[in-house]
Structure 1
Amino acid sequence: MSEYTPSQNIPDRQPPATSVGIIGWVCKNLLCPWYNAVLTIVSCWAIWSAVAPFWEWAVTNASISLDPEVAKQHTGAAWGFIRDMWPVFMTGVYPAEERWRPLIALCIVVVLVSLSLVASYRRSRWLKILWFVSPIVVFALVYGGGITGLPVVGTHYWGGLMLTIMLSIVAMLAAFPISVLLALGRTSDMPIAKPFCVAYIELIRGVPLITLLFMASVVL
């Protein structure tokens, strides 16, 4: 029998299939030790118990017909209603013949957000100018009147996703300068500004957001 010498090349042996790849990860993290295996089985059972009824309701027994009589024959979701009411979900009770206006406003917002996510455009001056001008353009487009020559659509007709996006943009644009002023006021030595800023910040941080929303809906 020949003895082993360092000059001999012995091919590496492949690791067991149960210790590498997906199978290895499952065995290491989900099945070992034994209590992980028990937790995995219980979790799979809980997920299946929740997903299976939802799948039957959303897919298996669902209906996509707009006919109410056909929808009544199914015990699942009536997706036809969602398809029929989709414009209402997007723009609320905004006049049907003028719904192209909030659609264009939404496209403007999507384009600006997309450009802001690109690093090469994020610091450009013209993008900041567009963000500064966009609320005015969007409001003029959706509200109408004035130099636009479009029919006026009152704010009581606004709703749906359009209103949510507009309020989000206004809140984000207004929150940044206000937060900077509050932070500066909190760190200042001014006897009036500092207590006011501290009280406002602690009030907003300490009160649940849902409470503020309810108060705003009642007061306003």
Structure 2
Amino acid sequence: MSMAYVRDRDAPLRAPPVGTAGALGWLRENLFLSLGNSLLTLLLAVAIGYIAWGVLDWAVLRAVWTGADRAACAINNAGACWPFVWEKFPQWIFGFYPISERWRPVTAFLIGAAALVPMLMPGLGAKKWNALFLLVVYPVIAFELLAGGLFGLPEVETTSWGGLTVTLVVAVTGIVFSLPLGILLALGRQSSLPIIRSASVAFIEIWRGVPLVTVLFMASVMLPLFLPNGVSLDKLMRAIVGLSLFASAYMAEAVRGGLQAVTKGQTEAGLALGLSRWQTTRKIVLPQALRISIPNIVGIFIGLFKDTTLVLVVSIYDFLGIINAGLQDAKWAAPQTANTGYFVAALVYFAFCFAMSRYALFTERRLEPAGRR
């Protein structure tokens, strides 16, 4: 029999139809799949373009870039007043920190960034030692650099701190303390011991039922009453304690949701392998629960970072507070200075919050294969 018409290899692959692959295919699949989607895409594009053009026109095209006082910005149809930002920006970063000592918060932030970057990079090892440095050693170094009093560093009272320095100190400290405390509260709420479970439930519900503004007022006024004689905390420390306890209650509920999402069979499998209940929770259940809870945990972190603006109610000048204080300067009393200051504040807060959300998304994608297994 002749084998002349029997194919001995696969037919060559043909290119996909035009409009189903590449950039054109993505646009068609995601933005122009139907008539309704196409109309909605066009309406949103027009709205986004209109807003973007308005911001560009105000912040760049009609903006004032040079000047020494309000006269430069107090002109008709003027846009953003950037000279106001150039003059006030150092104060927005450091608050009332002495100018000659501003190298200290800069050094503290650089050390923290140098330690945090390897911690966030999955490919680098020594995570335990890195975490130990960030949680134990670095807070001592940062506090000594900022507060001074030892090693020949002049003492700087926390009342002189302000601006982005205070925002980062309050936010980072609140995040570091609220996460482990929230995990303990979540585990306590699921404990089989009635006393621990009731105490955890009471703590969570009480703190979640009180507005943060009230918590800050109470921390500023009532906390000193519960301290031993001769022990006192300044206003910044009181605000950090109140904010950390407040955030830990919400963190506990986020972690508890992750714990409930882990099937009971995971615990039974760990116990069947001879692990104790604590080992099963620590090595099997809790890692899965934290992976599931990443979106909620990051949402709480972002909310906590933005809630630092409320410390202004107890006379602590965070980043937004120091901007408001700068607006009282008669030298820059122009119509556009307030809008420009708030615009810069929005950009700074967006940058930090967007970075946290993007890294959380990266972590979710990296851990997704482990979840499928």
Q: Report TM bin, short chain.
A: 0.7 to 0.9
Per-residue deviation, residues 144-163 of structure 1 (Å, max 9, x unmatched): 11x32111111111111111
Q: Is the 2:94–2:162 Cα contact (8 Å) retained in structure 1?
A: yes
Pairs within 5 Å for 1:153-192 = 153-192=156-195
Instruction: Give RMSD over aligned pairs.
Output: 2.7
Please name the residue that 1:123 is paired with: 127
Please name the residue that 2:49 is paired with: 48
What amino acid maps onto 2:163 in structure 1? G
* TM-score between the two structures when normalised by the length of structure 2: 0.51
Q: Is the 1:19–1:25 Cα contact (8 Å) retained in structure 2?
A: yes
Structure 1 residues 24 and 177, CA, compared in 2 at 3 Å: closer, same or farther? closer
Pairs within 5 Å for 1:80-119 = 80-119=83-122
Q: Is the 1:102–1:162 Cα contact (8 Å) retained in structure 2?
A: yes
C-alpha deviation, 1:172, in angstroms: 2.8
**1:135 aligned onto 2:134:** no
**1:144 aligned onto 2:143:** no
Moved more, 99-108 or 159-168: 159-168
Q: Is the 1:115–1:122 Cα contact (8 Å) retained in structure 2?
A: no
Tell me the distance in 1 between the aligned counterparts of 2:196 and 2:6: 79
What amino acid maps onto 2:50 in structure 1? S
**1:57 aligned onto 2:58:** yes
Please name the residue that 2:74 is paired with: 72
What amino acid maps onto 1:169 in structure 2? V
Q: Is the 2:119–2:130 Cα contact (8 Å) retained in structure 1?
A: no
Please name the residue that 1:195 is paired with: 198
User: What's the secondary structure of 2:67's corresponding residue?
Assistant: coil
What amino acid maps onto 1:80 in structure 2? P
Please name the residue that 1:27 is paired with: 28
C-alpha deviation, 1:194, in angstroms: 1.9
Per-residue deviation, residues 120-141 of structure 1 (Å, max 9, x unmatched): 2352425513531111111111
What amino acid maps onto 2:44 in structure 1? S
C-alpha deviation, 1:110, in angstroms: 0.9
Moved more, 147-156 or 171-180: 171-180
Tell me the distance in 2 between the aligned counterparts of 1:129 and 1:183: 26
* TM-score between the two structures when normalised by the length of structure 1: 0.82
Per-residue deviation, residues 53-85 of structure 1 (Å, max 9, x unmatched): 111101111122133323334611112211221
Gaps of 5+ in 2: 221-373
What amino acid maps onto 1:96 in structure 2? I
What amino acid maps onto 2:32 in structure 1? L
Structure 1 residues 77 and 189, CA, compared in 2 at 3 Å: closer, same or farther? same
Tell me the distance in 2 between the aligned counterparts of 1:43 and 1:180: 41
C-alpha deviation, 1:10, in angstroms: 8.8
Tell me the distance in 1 between the aligned counterparts of 2:193 and 2:26: 59
What amino acid maps onto 1:95 in structure 2? P
Larger Rg: 1
